[in-house]
Amino acid sequence: MITFGKIKSVKGEISVPADKSITHRSFMLGAMAEGSTRVTNPLMSRDTIATMEAMKALGAEFIPAENGFVVVSKGYRAFNEPSDVINCDNSGTTARLISGLIAPAGVYAVLTGDDSLRKRPMKRVIKPLSLMGSRMEAASNGTLLPLTILPSKMHGADITGETKSAQVKSAVLLAAAQIEGHTTYTEPASTRNHSEIMLKNFGADISVNGKTVIVNGGRPLTGTDAAVPGDFSSAAFFIGAALIFEGAEITIKNVGLNETRTGLLTALSSFGVKFELNYYENTIEPMGDIHIKHQSFRGGKVDGELIANLIDELPLLAFLGLFADSPVEIRDAHELRVKESDRIAATLYNLNQLGAETEEFEDGMKIYPLKKEPVQAHLRSFFDHRIAMLSILMCKRFGEKVSVDEIQSVDVSFPNFVSILEEIENK
Ligand code: S3P
């Protein structure tokens, strides 16, 4: 069991690591494009390294350059057949998106992943890609990794998405961009739109009409510059820290503020939380600084369309329920059950350890404010990076009576989480 000394507060200015979603896509589009793509400030973590290795297996070169890489590729028309199984490690984004990226390439490829990823649903991408003519076989009656992609002749299609998932949408779009013909994808809720923005930048014929994305595929993509902003989902832990530690005041620099990602700010505003955003000018993805001070706040209900825009921040929001003046209720979040862990079960396990009053729903949870400090709590990360980071925050908030079983999993998205926290903590 790991413990941390109790800290009094957090104060100062930090930068968080680069955006995981945008780094994955920069590496993938760099490989799909012809020529050189300069990727500046990519996130180097377990998840994004899995994507980089997969792109190398298809023939892309990653040449180290100042603060990043130049990805050099002959483009999607010249992808190699991978000579071995592709290991997506813990990364759902890698597995889902490259299913779509490889499907039209006319190669035989096998994808697998770690224990957690091999339990996560793949049917959600297999189904729409099959409607576009792909041939795929997967374990467990076509639902789980390992997944085999067979050469096929794919075609455009009109697809209505069944899952509120940017990963599913992106798998379809990365395939559609390569296929001669017209594809539309209509999503059930607006999810993160980094793939749409980046495909356009790389020269794809793509447009968006409400919740429908339209792609006329088969055009070559051209290498370009991709500068990766700080990850809002990593910044979120420090927004949370500001609300958890009395006297806190934090500025987080260079954060991606794409509205399809910042649902946490919308939810917190509805709880009465005040913060400042200072946007930078002339950036492809909206970007800026977040300034927030400790303050008291009420709880509230978070549900409906907003859920897709704070999907990775929902466990944090649940933990904030401990410190709110009234309960926090999260609904319509069934997707949390199939993340790196069952994040409803994992979050509630830890909150209950801390002595909180909670309620569990199939699609969410309700957390009541903590009435007294925990006497003793053994938290578990469930080998899920985001649950591990929240556990670390609780350890630092309550001191050595709270412990966590492992924290190595933070390497998946935020390898230097503890050292950045240490930069701004007051003991
Ligand atoms: C991601 C999309 C989300 C998110 C994940 C990253 C992406 O998954 O949870 O961490 O980069 O597209 P879903 O789209 O499946 O909800």
Give the residue numbers annotated as catalytic, written as ranges: 312
Tens of pLDDT, residue by residue over 87-109, are: 999 999 999 999 999 999 999 99
* Nearest protein Cα to ligand 1, atom 13: 165
User: Rounded to whole angstroms, how far apart are CA atoms 197 and 206?
Assistant: 9
Question: Ligand 1: which of 23, 47, 123, 165 to mutate, most ligand atoms within 8 Å of CB?
Answer: 165
Using pLDDT thresholds of 50, 70 and 90, give the confidence band for residue 172: very high
In this structure, the answer to whether residues 10 and 151 fall within a common structural domain is: no
Tens of pLDDT, residue by residue over 34-50, are: 999 999 999 999 999 99
Helices 92-102, 46-57: crossing angle, 10 deg rounding: 20
In this structure, the answer to whether residues 266 and 383 fall within a common structural domain is: yes
> pTM of this prediction?
0.98
In this structure, the answer to whether residues 191 and 303 fall within a common structural domain is: no
Distance 246 CA to ligand 1 centre (A): 32
Domain boundary (185, 216, 247) is at 216
Does a structural domain hold residue 223? no
In this structure, the answer to whether residues 238 and 385 fall within a common structural domain is: yes
Q: How high is the pLDDT of residue 350?
A: 98
Kindly state if the Cβ of 190 falls inside 6 Å of ligand 1. Answer: no
Looking up tokens 């970007």, which residue turns up?
287
Atom of ligand 1 nearest to the CA of 170: 12
Mean model confidence pLDDT for the chain: 98
* Nearest protein Cα to ligand 1, atom 5: 93
Percent of the chain with pLDDT over 70: 100
Q: How high is the pLDDT of residue 347?
A: 99
User: 12-24 burial, b if ≥16 CB within 10 A, otherwise e?
Assistant: eebbbbbbbbbbb
Percent of the chain with pLDDT over 90: 99
Residue 146: CB atoms within 10 Å: 17
User: What stretch of H or E contains 86?
Assistant: strand 86-87
Token readout for 289 is 């600084």
Atom of ligand 1 nearest to the CA of 312: 9
In this structure, the answer to whether residues 293 and 375 fall within a common structural domain is: yes
In this structure, the answer to whether residues 83 and 178 fall within a common structural domain is: yes
Distance 355 CA to ligand 1 centre (A): 31
In this structure, the answer to whether residues 27 and 6 fall within a common structural domain is: no
In this structure, the answer to whether residues 158 and 98 fall within a common structural domain is: yes
Q: What angle do CA 226, 229, 230 make, to 5 degrees?
A: 150
Domain boundary (216, 239, 257) is at 216
Kindly state if the Cβ of 93 falls inside 6 Å of ligand 1. Answer: yes
Tens of pLDDT, residue by residue over 48-89, are: 999 999 999 999 999 999 999 999 999 999 999 999 999 999
Tens of pLDDT, residue by residue over 128-150, are: 999 999 999 999 999 999 999 99
Q: What angle do CA 267, 269, 270 make, to 5 degrees?
A: 65
Distance 351 CA to ligand 1 centre (A): 24
Tens of pLDDT, residue by residue over 360-373, are: 999 999 999 999 99
Atom of ligand 1 nearest to the CA of 96: 15
Kindly state if the Cβ of 166 falls inside 6 Å of ligand 1. Answer: yes
Tens of pLDDT, residue by residue over 257-314, are: 999 999 999 999 999 999 999 999 989 999 999 999 999 999 999 999 999 999 999 9
Q: How high is the pLDDT of residue 427?
A: 77
Domain boundary (216, 250, 281) is at 216
Question: Ligand 1: which of 191, 233, 307, 311 to mutate, most ligand atoms within 8 Å of CB?
Answer: 311
Number of domains in the chain: 2
Q: What are phi and psi of 246, to 5 degrees?
A: -60, 140
Does a structural domain hold residue 273? yes
Tens of pLDDT, residue by residue over 197-252, are: 999 999 999 999 999 999 999 999 999 999 999 999 999 999 999 999 999 999 99
Kindly state if the Cβ of 163 falls inside 6 Å of ligand 1. Answer: no
Q: How high is the pLDDT of residue 127?
A: 98
Q: How high is the pLDDT of residue 126?
A: 98
Using pLDDT thresholds of 50, 70 and 90, give the confidence band for residue 322: very high
| Domain of residue 167, residue span | 20-216
